[in-house]
Amino acid sequence: MSENFRSLETKFLDKTNRISFKYNGKKYYGYKGDTLASALLSNGIHLIGRSFKYHRPRGIMTCGSEEPNAIVQIGGTGSFTEPNVRATEQEIYEGLEASSQNCWPSVEFDVGGINNFISPVIPAGFYYKTFMWPKKLWYSLYEPAIRMSAGLGKSPTQPDPELYDHNHLHCDVLVVGGGISGIIAASISSDNGNNTVLIDDKNSLGGSTIFQDDENFKINDEISSVWLNNQIKKIKNKKNLIIKHRTSLAAYHSYNYLLARENLADHKSLNERSNKLRQRLWKIRAKKVILATGAIERPLIFNNNDRPGVMLANSVKKYIDYFGVRCGNKNIIFTNNDSAYETAISLNKKGINVSIVDIRNNSSSILVKNAKDAGIKIYWNHTVVNTAGYRRIKSIQIMKMSEDGTNVIDSKINLVCDNLSISGGWTPMVHLFTQSGGKLKFRDSDQVFLPNVTTSDQISIGSCNGDFELDDVIKNTISECKNFLSLSLTDFDLLKVNCPKQKESKNIWLLPNDKPLGKTKPFLDFQNDSTAKDIKLAMREGFRSIEHVKRYTTTGMGTDQGKLANMHALGIISETAGVKMGTLGTTTFRPPYTPLTFGTIVGRNVGTFFDIARKTPMHAWHENRKAKFENVGQWKRAWYYPMDDESIHQAVQRESKAARESAGILDASTLGKIDIKGTDASEFLNRVYTNAWSKLGIGKCRYGLMLNEDGMVYDDGVTTRLDENHYVMTTTTGGAANVLSKLEDYLQTEWPELDVWLTSVTDQYATASVCGPNSKNILKKLFPKVEFNDENFPHMSFKNAELDGINCRIMRISFTGEHSYEINIESKYGKSLWEKCMDEGKEFNITPYGTETMHLLRAEKGFIIVGQDTDGTMTPIDLQMDWIVSKKKYDFIGKRSLYRSDTMREDRKQLVGLLTDNPNEVLEEGAQIVQDEKKQPIEMLGHVTSSYFSPNLNKSIALAVIKNGKKLKGQKLLVPMKDKTIKVTVSDYIFFDSKNERLNA
């Protein structure tokens, strides 16, 4: 391992900035600008991890985001650790710690490697087929064992301490990809007055042209990399061009809405990045989008093509020409096209031993001629049939191919090597184009899917549009951009480009072998360990659709989303099924293009910013009184107020008794309040509530029930007539926004002729509800000028009043069944109103109570809570609330639905009361109710909706919805629980003060 593979000078790295990092606990060195992959390769390390299923040793294969094998865990065990990071993308920094994944005890010796030897008996679908029986072993044995041996990296166990941000960005033109075509496009766009943004996922621009030193590639008589380098210098000074490095496009949605992840800190040491943003998610809205996302090289599919040291040819070229790292001392290139010859020539020029195996008969390309002239040995019309070497490739065996390419002939030749660079041609990166809704076409000549039809304002240029040769790339980039941006001239119009042209091409998806397929391991998806065999097996078992084959074999389902695998899977399916590839279609390309961390997705929306918390003006008082809170929608409502060491049960029992015996006070500020004004306000209420409203006098209140058009209960609340044409409606806490939206809908769309205006005033008023036999005495002290006798201020009526000169609205209404008042005051006085009530109520032992006690008190009275006792399938008739449904009104929302055959069924679930035979036994809300436990299948009659121990009745009470419940009064039913069965009797649903005598007490 001591050999240094960084043999060459390179202008792309800062050689003065040497960096140390740790890999699997051992210290290594690299340079600023290295990726983890290039740094490891420079230290002679190819073996990175073990494969997902067979635990085969795997090495670095590529130099970019398509990497299937070289995925590592970054960071130790602390909160900064991150699994599944591609070593080919991670830049090294001082102190970086990386380790191999999916291996135990070490990547060199991995126990799971046994899977490789039993691989013939674990083909695709093995898990589905094998671990079905006996069923109960799944949870106890199969799943834990499979999860132990499979799985990728380890998730962090502590909260992510780093900062993430979301930003919006608007631009005229967004160019995605900083290769040569993207740079030309960004240059043309910004030169012509467009605010342009260029994003690129690497730390420097230039794509693969920036390290193209071959003299065959020239632009305006300069070597292409030199010309491009000058262009990059020029665009850096353009005023209306923003360039974003280390920014990868994650998603491309309709209407040119794109998400990009900018990496701000992952290349910095932990000291440098403290308290700074790690990543930023850009939400980009671009008028026009130019995709220049390039192409990735295809592997070749042959036996044992997955050993460490097997790499893509163009990546090997990048490692030598960009990073100055040779991937081996004895290289073999295995190709079906001319482009891999660039790698061979590059290696040869640097004095590195290289030979070529080509499946074609010959090629007349200038590159091939140069290779021949350089004396590079070429094996024409040969294919690799096997490779050897466990932790690193040691040799390959090649054989001559038959005339038609379906078989191999003659004897095997053994070639020694420590690197095998493979090239199966190129695949345009059309992911983003299809994400945006674009449709693809298939080009038979080189077997590629290309952008075809799109509805977005976008173009694809360069190799992602199927141009693989420099002259085509430049010529078409310029003409496409001119057309797209409506230009007649650009600075690039007269460029002179020279480059070699691809000559003879030959494509074989699955290369022939001397052994039957069953005895070989030609890997397609390196990350998920699926082979050509698995694809054929899936097809034999009847899978035809690419989407089904994908899921059955898991091909393309790794974190690389099959960037290398998918084309070959399609190719083998089309060959096997005898179907044209163009008609097969592709699997769906889904965002994100490369994995995002959760931190980037959520940005600042963590902790208290995760969701809005709405607090009432009295909130601080409740907190001070050590109230426990419950979430109701976004509201924090006081749930109960424990004293000393009280449990919730003890607190609620105390609060409930106090409210009925003397006085209680509830913060009701969260109830929705809608101000209704207009000459048709009464008519409007007539139409939205089930009961009649025209005759409600000014200063009176009425309870209303609101249905959906399907006849099901939607909301309820008390509405008060403040004036001739002025009402204030209350809604449930959770339903407020929906009710307002529904009312607006009807007003604007169905009844635009009504003169009615709706305003939400929920936040404008604070409400204290004072109840109990002494409530009147407290109110008298608070409002000495108001007469509180039953004649002047009866139940269900309203008075304006003043508290220290501040206007209040007092409604005498009750949700507890007690004599009760709701005092509404401008929000900012809410807390002082509350404190005054507490002061004046002190002599009456006024007791603050929370939502739990409120629920208990109303349940004693049989008042429903919409959303607890109803679930969107309950009509007022089901709730035994026939009394509130007007027979006289011609129409109201939902009326017609109450007469549908289904809603009129008598055996619907209906609201009833339940009493347990043992009065101390409290039912669980949600518990199922049955009649006969032994009947199979057991018949569910309904369920418990509300259940409490009532301190005022000294027994357990419950509300439930039960099939045909109205007729079951007095009947014995059963509530089976996990460890016992509770006997219950159906009762009336009003348990307490059924004559409403306490309202006027």
Interface with other proteins (CB under 8 A): 253-255, 257, 285, 437, 455, 709-710, 741, 744-745, 748-750, 752, 890-891, 895-897, 899-901
Query: Closest CB to other proteins among 254 and 994?
Result: 254
Cα angle 37, 40, 41 (rounded to 5 degrees) comes to 85
Query: Closest CB to other proteins among 18 and 896?
Result: 896
Q: How far is the CB of 881 from other proteins (least distance, A)?
A: 21
Query: Closest CB to other proteins among 251 and 311?
Result: 251
Q: In one letter, which amino acid is 391?
A: R
Distance CA 881, CA 589 (A): 53
Query: Closest CB to other proteins among 168 and 934?
Result: 168
Q: How far is the CB of 710 from other proteins (least distance, A)?
A: 6
Query: Closest CB to other proteins among 437 and 582?
Result: 437
For residue 85, the tally of other CB atoms under 10 A from its CB is 23
Nearest partner of 682 among 622, 629, 635, 723, judged by Cα: 723
Q: How far is the CB of 283 from other proteins (least distance, A)?
A: 9
Query: Closest CB to other proteins among 588 and 996?
Result: 588
Q: How far is the CB of 583 from other proteins (least distance, A)?
A: 21
By CB neighbour count within 10 A (0-12 exposed, 13-18 middle, 19+ buried), where does 26 fall? exposed
Backbone Cα Rg of the chain: 38
Query: Closest CB to other proteins among 128 and 890?
Result: 890
Element at 549 (helix H, strand E): helix 546-553
- The partner residues of 912 in beta bridges, in order of sequence, read 960
Element at 320 (helix H, strand E): helix 313-321
Q: How far is the CB of 343 from other proteins (least distance, A)?
A: 42
Q: How far is the CB of 766 from other proteins (least distance, A)?
A: 24
Q: At what angle do helices 180-191 and 470-484 cross, to 10 degrees?
A: 30
Query: Closest CB to other proteins among 163 and 258?
Result: 258
Q: Is 312 helix (H, G, I), strand (E, B) or coil?
A: strand
Q: What are phi and psi of 581, to 5 degrees?
A: -60, -35
Q: How far is the CB of 891 from other proteins (least distance, A)?
A: 6
Q: How far is the CB of 287 from other proteins (least distance, A)?
A: 11
Query: Closest CB to other proteins among 454 and 971?
Result: 454
Q: In one letter, which amino acid is 182?
A: G
Only one residue has tokens 């021949």, namely 372
Q: How far is the CB of 731 from other proteins (least distance, A)?
A: 16
Q: Is 489 helix (H, G, I), strand (E, B) or coil?
A: coil
Distance CA 631, CA 536 (A): 54
Query: Closest CB to other proteins among 292 and 747?
Result: 747
Asked if 556 and 550 count as a contact pair (C-beta separation under 8 A), the reply is yes
Query: Closest CB to other proteins among 585 and 699?
Result: 585
Nearest partner of 804 among 762, 842, 832, judged by Cα: 832
Distance CA 912, CA 965 (A): 6
Q: How far is the CB of 253 from other proteins (least distance, A)?
A: 5
Q: How far is the CB of 212 from other proteins (least distance, A)?
A: 39
Q: Provide the sign of the torsion angle of the four alpha carbons 437, 601, 75, 243, taken in this order.
A: positive
Nearest partner of 418 among 383, 449, 388, 454, judged by Cα: 388
Query: Closest CB to other proteins among 377 and 439?
Result: 439
Q: How far is the CB of 406 from other proteins (least distance, A)?
A: 42
Q: Tokens standing for 423? A: 């090239």
Q: How far is the CB of 744 from other proteins (least distance, A)?
A: 6
Q: What are phi and psi of 396, to 5 degrees?
A: -130, 160
Q: How far is the CB of 193 from other proteins (least distance, A)?
A: 22
Distance CA 263, CA 272 (A): 14
Query: Closest CB to other proteins among 745 and 755?
Result: 745
Q: Tokens standing for 759? A: 């305003």
Q: Is 689 helix (H, G, I), strand (E, B) or coil?
A: strand
Q: How far is the CB of 749 from other proteins (least distance, A)?
A: 5
Q: Which residues contact 696 (CB under 8 A, 6 or more apart)?
A: 682, 702, 721
Q: What are phi and psi of 203, to 5 degrees?
A: -85, -10
Asked if 61 and 86 count as a contact pair (C-beta separation under 8 A), the reply is no
Q: Which residues contact 989 (CB under 8 A, 6 or more apart)?
A: 862, 880, 911, 912, 913, 959
Q: How far is the CB of 897 from other proteins (least distance, A)?
A: 7
Q: Which residues contact 96 (CB under 8 A, 6 or more apart)?
A: 19, 21, 22, 36, 74, 90, 269
Q: Tokens standing for 592? A: 């994100």
Distance CA 479, CA 493 (A): 9
Q: In one letter, which amino acid is 977?
A: M
Q: Which residues contact 761 (CB under 8 A, 6 or more apart)?
A: 673, 674, 675, 728
Task: Give the torsion through C-alpha atoms of 708, 711, 717, 719, to 10 deg.
Answer: 80
By CB neighbour count within 10 A (0-12 exposed, 13-18 middle, 19+ buried), where does 133 fall? exposed
Query: Closest CB to other proteins among 2 and 901?
Result: 901
Query: Closest CB to other proteins among 456 and 528?
Result: 456
Element at 775 (helix H, strand E): helix 775-782
Query: Closest CB to other proteins among 172 and 630?
Result: 172
Query: Closest CB to other proteins among 108 and 709?
Result: 709
Query: Closest CB to other proteins among 459 and 652?
Result: 459
Q: How far is the CB of 285 from other proteins (least distance, A)?
A: 8
Q: How far is the CB of 675 from other proteins (least distance, A)?
A: 14
Give the up-direction half-sphere exposure of residue 257: CA atoms within 13 A in the CB hemisphere.
6
Q: What are phi and psi of 229, to 5 degrees?
A: -60, -40
